[in-house]
Amino acid sequence: MNEYPRSAYVHVPFCHRRCFYCDFVVIPLGNKVETLQGYGSKTVKEYLHLLYKEILSIKHKSPLSTIYIGGGTPSLLDPKQIKELIDLFKENYGVDYGAEITMEVDPASFNQDDLFGFINAGINRFSLGVQSFNDEILQKSGRRHLREDAEKSCLWLKKVHDCGLIKSWSLDLIQNLPLSKLQEWEEDLKKAIKFSPPHISIYDLNIEDGTVFKKLINLGKLQLPSDEEAFRNSESTNLILKSSGYSRYEISNYCLPMHQSRHNRVYWSGLGWWSFGQGSTSSPWGEKLTRPRGSKEYKKWVIEQYEHNLDSSLTNKDYVYKELDEKIMLGLRLKEGIDLYELFKEQNWENKKFERNLSKLIEEWQRFLESGLLLRKGNRFFLSDPKGMELSNQILISMFKWWDEIN
């Protein structure tokens, strides 16, 4: 397998400020940033110059079928800057007719004119980071927008989708934020559904080191939903979304028919992708490479890539297959699950080793098969929905234990 990746992720690290749960690579610029001229524009332009250099450093490539511009807050950029970025790919990589070109937007960082500007620049799918429609929960989470901003953004996106100006859009919510008990969470879900987003992503809150939430928990000043409340929230998510016509095609993602995220499926399917920008991770042929998280370090790295030899992970070579445990983990996230026999065949184990390792894994998973968390049809294994997907960590931990033992 020696094909060039057909997908590219672009990281735009700028934000007005860092949310209390965020540990992503972001550069807070304050509330008054103007990315073309004015406050913060010099920082933005310097970064975009480096980003373009990095994109141009790849010498051999194929036309792209998906582009995902994430962050940070890409909607802080002016539509002209988004157009420059997309045109750079069109001129130097090529972009397929019908390609999915997604951009993350934040309710507090764009207006209706910007939205039409982004569409004219080539964006045909948007991912809107609402997180909650509850003002108190938003404030407790460090979000800059209010319910009113989120509702306006949803209405604008619904309108341009209904008119056929974009192919799709997604609404993101975070489950189990502070103050988000069952009643508040169900209100968020029902509010989201009213805008008929073709795609909804439901992310569980994770407490990461270095975040405000982590510091508050260490000080005993942050109360989150209990494990029981969190599980009830998850059950309610599944019930409300399914009854509204949404299909759960991945652990954290629901959609109406024909609206799966093509770009994200590249990650879950173990295919290769380019990635550009500070702190981002690429995997064009199976081997992962994460760019430096610091601005100075990223600048130095880009100049070295552009002027000298590319990192070995970015040069065309034979495909490096992912470790079996990673392929199982990624595959189980999807509704269709995994064909264990096909995955095992890729290991080129001799027959006795093949059968022995397969038997050990199935034996390890037997209790999950009996409890209904894990289902089997022939050689295909997949998580039950909702219980198996909600408790998938138990199944994955047992798989990682098995992997350690056979290695």
Q: Among 43-52, 80-89, 296-305, 319-328, name the one with the lowest average pLDDT.
A: 319-328
**Residue 313 domain-assigned?**
no
Q: How confident is the model at residue 75 (pLDDT cuts 50, 70, 90)?
A: very high
Output the pLDDT for position 1.
44
Contacts of 228 (CB under 8 A, 6+ apart): none
The domain total for the chain is: 2
Structural domain ending residue among the three candidates 245, 268, 291:
268
| CATH number of the domain residue 131 falls in | 3.20.20.70
Residue 250 shares a structural domain with residue 388: no
- Torsion angle defined by CA atoms of residues 338, 340, 341 and 347, in that order, rounded to the nearest 10 degrees: 110
Q: Please choose, from the candidates 164, 162, 240, the residue with its C-alpha nearest in 3D space to the C-alpha of residue 202.
A: 240
- Residue 79 burial by CB count (10 A; 0-12/13-18/19+): exposed, middle or buried? buried
Residue 143 shares a structural domain with residue 55: yes
Residue 372 shares a structural domain with residue 230: no
Residue 352 — φ and ψ, nearest 5°? -65, -45
Top pLDDT among 331 and 308 is at 331
Structural domain ending residue among the three candidates 250, 268, 286:
268
Output the pLDDT for position 20.
95
Residue 230 shares a structural domain with residue 346: no
| pLDDT per residue as tens digits for the range 207-226 | 999 999 999 999 999 988 88
Output the pLDDT for position 325.
92
Helix axis angle for 41-57 and 295-307, nearest 10°, is 30
Residue 208 shares a structural domain with residue 340: no
Output the pLDDT for position 320.
61
**Residue 319 domain-assigned?**
no
Residue 141 has pLDDT above 60, yes or no: yes
Judge whether 201 and 127 are in contact, CB under 8 Å: yes
| pLDDT per residue as tens digits for the range 229-285 | 888 999 999 999 999 999 999 999 999 999 999 999 999 988 899 999 999 999 998
Average pLDDT value over all residues in the chain: 94
Q: How far apart are alpha carbons 237 and 241 in whole angstroms?
A: 6
Residue 2 has pLDDT above 60, yes or no: no
Domain that holds residue 377: 324-406
| pLDDT per residue as tens digits for the range 91-138 | 999 999 999 999 999 999 999 999 999 999 999 999 999 999 999 999
Residue 242 shares a structural domain with residue 333: no
- Give me the helices (H) in 178-307, please: 182-194, 212-218, 227-243, 262-268, 295-307
Give the CB-side neighbour count of residue 157, counting CA atoms within 13 A: 32
